[in-house]
Structures are given as structure tokens and as C-alpha cells.
Structure 1
Amino acid sequence: MKKLKQVLLVCLLLFLTGHVFAQQVRFNKVLENKLNNFGIIFSITQDRQGYIWFTSVQKGLHRYDGKKITTFSHNNDDPNSLASNVALSVSADSSGYIWVGLGLTGLDRFDPATNKFTHFRHDPKDPSSLGNDSISAIITDRAGNTWLGTARGLDMYDNKTGRFIHYTINDKIKYANFQNDNFGINTIYEDKKGILWIGWGNQYSGKKEDPGGLIRFDKATGKVTGYKHDPADANSLADNNVNAIYEDSKNNFWVGTNGDGLHLMDRATGKFTQYKYDAAHPEKLSRPPLAAIMENNFISFITEDIYGRLWIGSNGSGMNMYDPAAKKTTHFGTVANDKTNRFAKDTLNGFTGDAAMRAFPSKDGLLWIADFSGNMYNINFSSIAVPYFRVNKTPRQFLFG
């Protein structure tokens, strides 16, 4: 009887703490873009020192040290400054360098020790130069290699030679030579086995049959596999415009596309299970609400917090937090063109936008989120006095916010 009471008590505590947690998620606005100092935030990362770096499409590169923000911008009189303020992507490597992908002026590498930028540009006369000067995505893989998504394909920077290696994807997938600048690489992701996954297409397109899709690239063998929308196959992608890729702590592999495109992929079979938004049951796992017809409403990110909750962002409907233990979805933010006013501004939790553009889980357990208006938030889960078990054991470096 005593053991039974203990079990019942534990179950009750888990239920109550789960309920309290959902109610107490609080967005701390670290950066408020009242004066348009930062523009639209396109990418977020963290360096080995624990600093948060982010890029904005109008205002360059920024570093947040937990107290203040330092901005690195283009200076016509300084050749060692950022090449352009149109900064689209950022990644920090294990050597301490910060890599910045620019919209039209190539790739920059920032050395925090010298505060200087090194510029890499495409040279038509040099086949080992950067493949294209528009860099939309950057990641540094587990081996320390820097991978770049350009307007013309996939590049890797060779640290040993200082040259770029170009990877041509076969003609069947029609990937290497984009003929329309609206179609390009939206995201690059490395899974736990070291496989690269590339999402491409036109995220602002409302046509699911447009060029695009998901590409699996085995770096060890060079094998390439493509996945696309097939109207005749219910287990294919719902849309060819792939914007978000994420492998969670339980090895589930998630893919987000335009429209109602939250997918769980079985990597062994190449089949996709689509989790559709159900207005009658908003508590179910899905992308954020589709309350109005938006041709370019896409899933902007998929990530996971330190408690195993899945976060799904969108560019027009706020974001969802799905708790797999409680099998419940909580929505944050507003919904664009929601004439019924079913989704009012969430003043209680602090996130009031309709576009949750980027998310980044930092090493100290915070979840960083940027909206379309240039505001930056973080969620400090450890400030919530609720006992929870962490998904991972990553040690904290220091606490922001």
C-alpha cells in the first residue's frame, strides 16, 4: 500500500508540474527592435566561448555576451570589416572562427582574436574559389568542415588548402545549377551519423510542385538520394519547398515544408508521415494554425528544448510547442489575417508576433527565438521552479537573461 501511494504521488506531481510548466513558459525579450537597429534576423549560432551570434538582412553581424550587443557592419574605409550588411547565415567552428554568409558579396570569416574579416568571393577564372556569392546556409560539421549552401549548389571549405570543393548533385534531382534565383538551398543539417541533409526550393512559393525537395548526401560515399512531392504517393513530401530539418533526442527525423507540411521521416524506407493541422483538435501534434490561406506560409524551424518538447515555428502563425509526454500542443503568438480573432496576442507569455523565424537551443539550456520584426527572445527553463528531468547532460557555461 505504501509503494502504491508513492507511485500515485509521483504521477500526481508529474501531472501538476507538466501543467504548471506549460502555463509558465515565459519569453524574455532580449532584443527589442523599436528603432529597426537589427532588421530581420536570419540566423543564430553560439561560439565556443558561449557568445550568441546572429545575422540580420539589413544590419550585418551581431554578438551578444549576456549583457550587451556588439554589431559588426560594413565600413567602406576598412577593408577588414564585414563585406556587406546583407548577412543571411552564420556558423561558429571549433577553431573559434565565425563564418558569415552574405546575400551578394560572398563569404566572410571573422577572427575574434583580431576583430578582422577575411573575404571569400567567387572567381570565374578559379574553379576552386567560392561557387557563388550568395550564401543562404552554413553549417560546420562534426569533423570541422564548413558547408555552404549557395545560389548554385553545395560547397565545402577545405581548411587544409583554403580552397572550396564543389559538390554537383546529379541531373535527376536538378539541383546543382539553379536557373532561377528564387530557388536555392534553404537549410543544411547534419544528423547523428554524419549524413548531410539539404532542404531546397522557394520558401515563398505557394506551389507544392515547384522545383525543390529534400536531399540526402552521404559524405563518406558520395551517394546522393532525393525526395520530392509526389501527388500519387501519400507517403511523399507534402510540398517540395523544404525549409526545416531536425533530428530529436529520440532519433525521430522531422522535416518542415511550406503549407501544412510537418513530416516525420522514416529514413530506412524514405517514407514520410504528415501531421496535419486540425482546427477541431489544436492540441494534436502539428505545425502552427492555418487559420487563413497564405500561399507562402511555411514552417520556419523545428527544434527541441532541454525537456524533449518539440518547437515548430512558422512565418505567419506564431509557433507551437508539443509535449510528447502529455501529448499536448501549446500555441504561442498570433496568426496573420486571423479575422475570427481566435488567436489573440499572447501578452501573458510575452511573444506577440505572428512570424517566428529562427530558433536556436544554446549550450546553457536556453531556447533563443527571433521573430520577423527583428525582436529576439529567450526562454530560461531553469528559472521555472518545476522539477523536470533533462533530455541531455550538456553542462552549462553561463546563463543569459
Structure 2
Amino acid sequence: MGTFGGYRVINPKTLKVKNVGINALMGNGSSVISFLQANDNKLWIGTNVGLLALNLTSGGTEKFIHHPNDPSSLTDNFIKTIVKDEKGRIFFGTNNGLNMLLDDEKHFKSFLQSDNKLFSDDIIYAASLEKEGKLWLGTEDGVTIFDTATEAFSNIRPNKRESFGLSHKSVRSICMADNGIIWLGTYQGGVSKFDPNLALFNLKHSSPFDPKGLSSPIVTSFAEFSKRKIFVGTDGGGLHFFDRDQGVFEHIDMKSKIDFSRNPLAILTLMLDSRGMLWVGTYQHGLFAYNSKTKTYKQYLAGPSATDLSQNEIFAIKEDSKGLIWIGTNGTGVNVFDYKTNSFTKSGTQSLPPMLLPSNGFIRAIVEDPYGDMWLSSSGTGIAVFQRSNGKYKVYRKANSGLSNDVVLSLLCDSKGNIWAGTDGAGLDLFNRRTGKFTNFNETNGLSNAIVYKILEGKDGLIWLSTDNGISCLNPETKK
């Protein structure tokens, strides 16, 4: 038990108390703040004026303090918490960063906020080791999570925009429960409970009054820029750039040449190509190419020339393996953009062969299969496949292929080359190349709803579906 001027040792059997003073070793005014018994022979004692190592066998002691001219000494003398990881390494949380004891047990490796921006704050109140080997640090500005294997940092800070976020920034205590739940005691914010077993969504509410929030409740599309940043398209709120670390949205101001009201765009689809160009498909305002490096953009509108679109309503965008950008319109087929010529090749219902599209031209999704063929789904006329080998289209409809519905809202070509089609009211279809037929999965197979808006494949090969009644997940191996 740490006290002013020393510590007390209580014998649990006899309940006798032994008082041990440290003023002679550490100086007057010293207080014991933290303890750690590293092994049967050594006890580490953290104080407000330095660190003390006590040999439990011989009774000998060794003192460690901060030396301004020695970078391998402690970064601060106020030792608030001490913890040992699975490899036996000892960490000391101080008023000025984290210190790791080196193998010689004489020197330290320091970790400071000035060296890593993901380190929440240098004032460390508490430390506790998670089962996965991650060290949770309670700081004056949230929680810092330190991966002891990779020495990488991440953090959790309070955010009023998060429904299930940390209640207060000053985290003074941490408790790791055996069931994996992590309890965080805060200063003036009560207790926050982190349960990794709960499958909760980190909901981002929209607010027209929050300059760093989501401006529209209707989110139509995403494009991942990096692991930590995502472009977000909205209907009526324009384009946003979301920073996952900060939990805030940057509003990207893009104005249409044909909208004098200057209202935010209604975005229908987003696609980030291999050059880093973000393609933005809108309702009634054509196509925007946004350069993420220069933060400039170019707008393409419907017109008669080869550099114009065939229509201003863009529902689908896909880059193929040759670097061409396929743009699906709402009634005039596809426009294929070539960077080399800065122009569009149009394939629609009014085009001449071989570019005549055997479809109503209301394109809803575009994917490329392993053979380089482009699959174009439509709202009402099934799926048209542009075959690279002969430059012709092949059509799959309910009448000739067993497609469950000719209104196909979404497509996916998975990692094994399988084509999945999400329909408007008939569920999910899987294409069999050998037979040229589709197999249907619907609510009788466990699908939450038969309207499938989007299909994605996870890293583990599972197929994820967004529907009109939540999210469904399908294992393609078991078909469940």
C-alpha cells in the first residue's frame, strides 16, 4: 500500500502492518504511487520523484530518475503506473510519456506524443494489458492503445458525434475483465464500458449545423481513399471526406455549372480509380472528376461532342483492367472514358452496331469478370455482357437464363470469378458459367429481404448484402 513517505506491507494471515519509509532513499516529500512485482526477487516501486527497484532477497535498492542529457533515462520522475507484458517487458507510465525497461535493466526506451501523433497524451494515469498483447493507456486526452509487438499506436478519444463513444477525455483507471470487457474510469465522466463482443455500429448522425459533421441523412456511396480516410457521397449534402481517426467530415465544395441555386449535389455513385482520381456520378448534374491531390475538379455534362456525356444522370462507374472508365447512365446506356483521348465512346440504345446496347440503357451496376468482359445490369432488361473477344454483347434475362428478375440493382464479381446479381424484389442470383443459368437465393434461404441494393465480398470470402431490411451475410461454400 503506497503512502506519503513510503509504503505499508500487510500480512494477510496475521493482518500485521509493516511500515517502510523511502525518504532516506528518494528524499523528503516522496510518495509511493505504483507497484509491480516483476518476479520473486524484484519489486518495482513508482514514486513522485523517481523509480525504485527493490531486491526482495537481499533488501538492496536501485534508484532511477530522469536525466535531461540522457535520452535513455526515464522521461519523467512521476511514475503513475507500472505493467508487465506477456514477454516480461516492463512499462512505466509517467507524467511525460511511456518508458520501456531495456534488457540491461539500466536504461529505458521512451515513447512520446512528439514522436507519434496517435499517442493521445503524454500524461499517463493508468495502464493495463489486453489479452491480445495490446497495452491500454489511460491518459489526459483519451485512451492510447500500444501494440507491444509492432510498437504501433492507436487511440480512442471522446467524440460528441459518436453515440457509443468515450464519456470523457481524462481516463484515470482501467480494468480488464476476464470476459474481455474493458472498464474505463474517467474524471467527471463516470465509467465507460468497452465490450468487444457487441456488434454495434458506430453511427454518425447527420446535422446541417455541424461544420465537421455529416450534412445529409441520405448516404448513397463510399470510396475508400486510404485505411483511415473515406469519401462519402450523399443525396442533397454533396461530397464528404471522412477521417476515421478524428471522427470528423470535411465538406468538399463542388458546384455544378448548370445549377445557379448552388445547392449541394445529389451524388449517386463514387469510384476512385487507379490514378487517384475520384469519379462522382450525380443526379441531373453529370459527372465530376475530382483530383484528390490538387483538390480540383472537372465537370462533364451531356452534349453533342465526343468530350460530352450522353446524359446527366450517372448511376454506376467502374474502371476496367485497361484503365478505361465505364459510366452507366439512366436511360442512354454506357459512356466509356479514355484518358488518352480525353473523350467518351458511347454505347446505347440509339448507337450503331457494334455499339448498339441490347438493353433499355438504365444502367444500375457495372463489373468486370476475369476474362475482361464487362457486365452491365439494368433496371428492366436484365444484364448485358460486353465480350472483349468479339466486341459484341450477350444478354441474360429472366426468359433465357433463369435470372430471377430483370431489374438488377447490383453486381459483384468475387475473388473466384463468380458473378452475383442483386435484384429488386427477387433476391440474390449466382451465375453458373457452365450452364449459362442463374441460381436464386431469397428469403426462404435466410435472406433478410429480397431487394438487394449492394453486394460486397469480405476478406474471408463471405458475401455481404445490403437489403431493404438490414444486412445479410452468405457463405458461398455452404450457401447459407
For the aligned pair, the TM-score class normalised by the smaller chain equals: 0.5 to 0.7
Match of 2:199 among 13, 21, 26: 26
Q: CA RMSD, aligned part only?
A: 3.3
Matched residue, 2:396: 227
Q: Cα offset for 1:138?
A: 0.8
Mapping of residues 174-323 of structure 1, within 5 Å: 175=357, 178=360, 184-201=362-379, 211-230=380-399, 236-278=402-444, 284=445, 286-289=446-449, 298-314=451-467, 316-323=468-475
Matched, 1:138 2:317: yes
Q: Cα offset for 1:47?
A: 3.0
Letter in 2 for 1:323: N
Matched residue, 2:223: 45
Distance 1:29 1:175, change over 3 A: farther
Matched residue, 2:270: 90
Greater share of helix: 1
Q: Distance in 1 between matches of 2:324 and 2:205?
A: 34
Letter in 2 for 1:308: G
Q: Cα offset for 1:252?
A: 2.8
Matched residue, 2:239: 61
Distance 1:63 1:116, change over 3 A: same
Distance 1:153 1:34, change over 3 A: same
Q: Distance in 1 between matches of 2:321 and 2:225?
A: 14
Q: Cα offset for 1:299?
A: 0.8
Match of 1:117 among 290, 297, 306: 297
Q: Indicate conservation of the 8 Å contact 1:288/1:312, yes or no.
A: no
Q: Indicate conservation of the 8 Å contact 2:256/2:285, yes or no.
A: no
Q: Cα offset for 1:271?
A: 0.6
Q: Distance in 2 between matches of 1:109 and 1:256?
A: 28
Matched, 1:129 2:293: no
2:398 aligned counterpart, secondary structure: coil
Q: Indicate conservation of the 8 Å contact 1:59/1:73, yes or no.
A: no
Distance 1:53 1:90, change over 3 A: same
Mapping of residues 90-109 of structure 1, within 5 Å: 90-109=270-289
Q: Distance in 2 between matches of 1:73 and 1:301?
A: 27
Distance 1:243 1:31, change over 3 A: same
Q: Distance in 2 between matches of 1:175 and 1:28?
A: 41
Letter in 1 for 2:329: T
Q: Distance in 2 between matches of 1:25 and 1:60?
A: 32
Matched residue, 2:346: 166
Larger RCO, structures 1/2 (Cα 8 Å, 6+ apart): 1
Q: Distance in 2 between matches of 1:69 and 1:48?
A: 15
Deviations along 1:118-177, one digit per CA (max 9) or x if unpaired, are 1111123x2442111111111122222211001211011110111111124689998578
Distance 1:324 1:238, change over 3 A: closer
1:133 aligned counterpart, secondary structure: coil
Q: Cα offset for 1:251?
A: 3.1
Q: Indicate conservation of the 8 Å contact 2:310/2:346, yes or no.
A: yes
Distance 1:324 1:214, change over 3 A: closer
In structure 1, runs of 5+ residues without a counterpart are 1-22, 202-210, 279-283, 290-296, 330-401
Q: Distance in 1 between matches of 2:407 and 2:432?
A: 19
In structure 2, runs of 5+ residues without a counterpart are 1-195, 209-213
Q: Distance in 1 between matches of 2:333 and 2:372?
A: 19
Matched residue, 2:333: 153
1:194 aligned counterpart, secondary structure: coil
Distance 1:128 1:273, change over 3 A: same
Q: Indicate conservation of the 8 Å contact 1:287/1:313, yes or no.
A: no
Matched residue, 2:154: none
Q: Distance in 1 between matches of 2:285 and 2:263?
A: 7
Q: Distance in 1 between matches of 2:311 and 2:411?
A: 23
Q: Indicate conservation of the 8 Å contact 1:74/1:83, yes or no.
A: no
Q: Indicate conservation of the 8 Å contact 1:185/1:198, yes or no.
A: yes
Q: Distance in 2 between matches of 1:76 and 1:245?
A: 29
Q: Distance in 1 between matches of 2:356 and 2:343?
A: 25
Q: Cα offset for 1:323?
A: 3.4
Q: Distance in 2 between matches of 1:261 and 1:90?
A: 24
Q: Distance in 1 between matches of 2:452 and 2:395?
A: 20
Letter in 2 for 1:141: D
Distance 1:39 1:320, change over 3 A: same
Give runs of ≥4 in structure 1 deviating > 6 Å: 170-174
Distance 1:328 1:176, change over 3 A: closer
Letter in 2 for 1:111: N
Deviations along 1:277-309, one digit per CA (max 9) or x if unpaired, are 22xxxxx4x5324xxxxxxx6211122212222
Q: Indicate conservation of the 8 Å contact 2:301/2:312, yes or no.
A: yes
Q: Cα offset for 1:250?
A: 3.3
Percent of aligned pairs with the same amino acid:
25
Letter in 2 for 1:102: T
Larger Rg, first or second structure (1 or 2): 2
Q: Indicate conservation of the 8 Å contact 2:232/2:240, yes or no.
A: yes
Q: Cα offset for 1:75?
A: 4.9
